Amino acid sequence: MAKEIPDLVAEARTGTGKGAARQARRNGKVPGIVYGDHKDPVAIQFDFNQLLTKLRAGRFLSTLWNLKVEGQEDVRVICRGVQKDVVKDLPTHIDFMRLRRTSKINLFIQVDFINQDKCPALKRGGTLVTVRPEVELMVTAGDIPESIVVDLEGRQIGETIHISDVTLPEGAVPVTDRNFVIANLAAPSALLSEEGAEEAEAPEVEAEAEAPEA
């Protein structure tokens, strides 16, 4: 299933250059520009508070957005830079690049775990420890997966799930070459306590000293 692309609402901005950008900021806006795809750049602006909320939510630069500007056709974009005030650390300008459906981009894709009711480790009281709730993948802009799926059926306590254990959506590849860990199935605390107690109670076997020959 393709991932739903979130909307990002902007306004058309009249004029370009430093003067027009300063005027936009005085009006409580953050000026920006959209470029790429062999088309002319378009000047836009955003409501300051709404944009700041999205920036602080995280993953802004790695999210594919559906840019909506009244009177213009929606376009898929990805942020390519956010300029900030060096003192206040607040956005002062933002750049976006248009993408075609065939463009390749890096995005963080959510990890979903299925068949937890068929997982022996969890049935025995084990815990699913998620190391990476999202995985950065290179995907096609026109076919972004909703998630990657990890099947827990048959998984035992102590097992570790790596990216190589997962069947990725068609056309998606990990950005990192390393075979990183996505999750592991940890033993329940009661089992760990029992094993620790057994080790503590195990008698120590000492080697008998040989008697010296007369």
Q: What is the pLDDT of residues 139-167, one digit of tens each?
A: 988 888 888 999 999 999 999 999 999 99
Residue 41 is assigned to a structural domain of this protein? yes
75: β partners: 67
Q: How many CA atoms lie within 13 A of 8 on its CB side?
A: 27
Answer whether residue 201 is part of any domain: no
| Residue of higher predicted confidence among 93 and 14 | 93
Domain end residue (candidates: 50, 73, 99): 99
- Which domain covers residue 131, as residue numbers? 105-194
pTM: predicted TM-score of the whole model, two decimal places = 0.68
**Residue 207 confidence class, pLDDT cut points 50, 70, 90:** very low
Residue 58: CATH number of its domain: 2.40.240.10
Q: How many domains does the chain have?
A: 2
Q: Which residue among 56, 75, 99 closes a domain?
A: 99
Residues 95, 115, single domain; the answer is: no
Is residue 182 assigned to a domain? Answer: yes
Res 197 pLDDT > 70: no
**Whether residue 114 sits in one domain with residue 91:** no
